[in-house]
Amino acid sequence: MSSIQIARYVISFAWLYHGIFPKLVHVAPIEQLIMSSAGFPDDISTLITKIAGVGEVMFGVLFFMFYKYKAMNILNIIALTLLLIAVAVMQPQLLIEAFNPVTTNIPLIAFSYLLLRDSQRG
């Protein structure tokens, strides 16, 4: 398997996993914490979290299909950067926890950079 396909699978898997398990199957306490820190009541926080989960699943599927497109990779980089900034602003203590957005988002951004670089060659 090529490094390009590995990057494609890893990015798609991350979006799918983070959309399905901590948001749709079971709303993780950290997800609830982030939404409630934005000032939403618990029921609205849960709804927004589930909607975000659906959006992440959709993005994961779209990324899997359209990973060769420059716009898709730029959108991925922007989304991951904005999500990292949002956590840094709303719940900065999460940045030093185990398996935090720094250790997940930055590698995914790097994989998108590799896909961008590859798309410019072809």
> How do residues 98-119 score in pLDDT, each as one tens digit?
989 999 999 999 999 999 999 8
> How do residues 90-103 score in pLDDT, each as one tens digit?
999 999 999 899 99
Give the Cα separation of 75 and 23 in Å (integer): 21
Give the Cα separation of 43 and 25 in Å (integer): 16
Spacing of C-alpha 119 from chain mean position: 21
For the chain, where are the alpha helices, taking DSSP H only?
A: 3-19, 29-37, 42-66, 70-90, 101-121
- Report which residue type is found at 7: A
Residue 56's nearest CA partner among 88, 28, 20 is 20
Which pTM value belongs to this model?
A: 0.94
